[in-house]
């Protein structure tokens, strides 16, 4: 059974916090004209149940490196020749009821959403590397 875990980005303090910090900050509320609201606003991100190749937990919002290796089609029939690498740096999202990524077109993938299971079934790729996250490292996605 998959472990259910969250982390949160605090909009006010612009930092990532663990669940304990979220619980402690859920208590402070302030009275408004229409009711009550939390003093600190969070963006919650759920753990995908997967670990990257370095043993780090992969969360929604993480930016991961997906490496696809393939041999040139002409040379592949002999099983010899150079290996081409197609790398994609892409954020993890929750879509269509599962975790995955919106991949760009390359020799393995069409441009669309792929769950982690589909990536493994299509390319055999099941190891990813976390490079950062969309809040602390948005520059990783601007290349």
- DSSP-H helix ranges across 1-143: 19-26, 73-76, 116-123
The helix or strand, by DSSP H or E, that contains position 29, with its residue range, turns out to be strand 29-32
pLDDT at 27 over 50: no
pLDDT one-digit tens code per residue, 46-57: 999 999 999 999
The answer to whether the pTM exceeds 0.85 is no
Average pLDDT, stretch 98-110? 79
Average pLDDT, stretch 31-55? 79
Average pLDDT, stretch 11-24? 74
């Amino acid at each position: 059974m998959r472990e259910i875990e969250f982390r949160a980005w605090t909009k006010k303090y612009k930092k990532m916090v663990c669940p304990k910090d979220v619980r402690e900050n859920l208590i402070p509320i302030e009275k408004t004209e229409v009711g009550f609201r939390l003093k600190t606003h969070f963006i919650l991100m759920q753990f995908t149940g997967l670990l990257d190749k370095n043993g780090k937990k992969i969360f929604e919002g993480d930016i991961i490196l997906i490496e696809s290796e393939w041999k040139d089609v002409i040379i592949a029939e002999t099983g010899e020749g150079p290996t081409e690498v197609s790398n994609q740096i892409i954020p993890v999202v929750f879509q269509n009821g599962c975790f995955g990524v919106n991949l760009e077109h390359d020799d393995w993938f069409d441009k669309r959403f792929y769950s982690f299971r589909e990536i493994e079934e299509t390319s055999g790729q099941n190891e990813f590397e976390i490079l950062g996250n969309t809040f602390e490292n948005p520059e990783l996605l601007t290349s």
